[in-house]
Amino acid sequence: MKVNIYNQLKGFRKEILFYFPHKGLLKLKILYIIFLVISGMCYFCLSQICVRKLFANVYFRLF
């Protein structure tokens, strides 16, 4: 199992190196990763808020 994950990570790294071959694009790569992390967090927070609002609406309608 560990070997499989390691191979996937190696493939992912190769893809990144393929898309970002130059060292000058390292900053761009870091910004892209930060953007992905922030957008993922925002999506998670928004989905949590939506679920809470939906639950609150259903709760108030029932009682």
**What are the residues whose beta carbons fall under 8 Å from the beta carbon of 20, sequence distance 6 or more?**
26, 28, 29
Confidence of residue 18 (pLDDT cuts 50, 70, 90): low
Q: Number of folded domains in the chain?
A: 1
Q: How far apart are CA 23 and CA 30, in angstroms?
A: 12
For the question of whether the overall pTM of this predicted structure is more than 0.75, the answer is no
Show the domain range for 59. Answer: 23-63
Mean pLDDT of 30-36: 81
pLDDT the model gives residue 20: 56
Is the residue at 16 inside a domain?
no
Mean pLDDT taken over the chain:
70
> Could you tell me if residue 39 is inside a domain?
yes
Classify residue 62: in a domain, yes or no.
yes
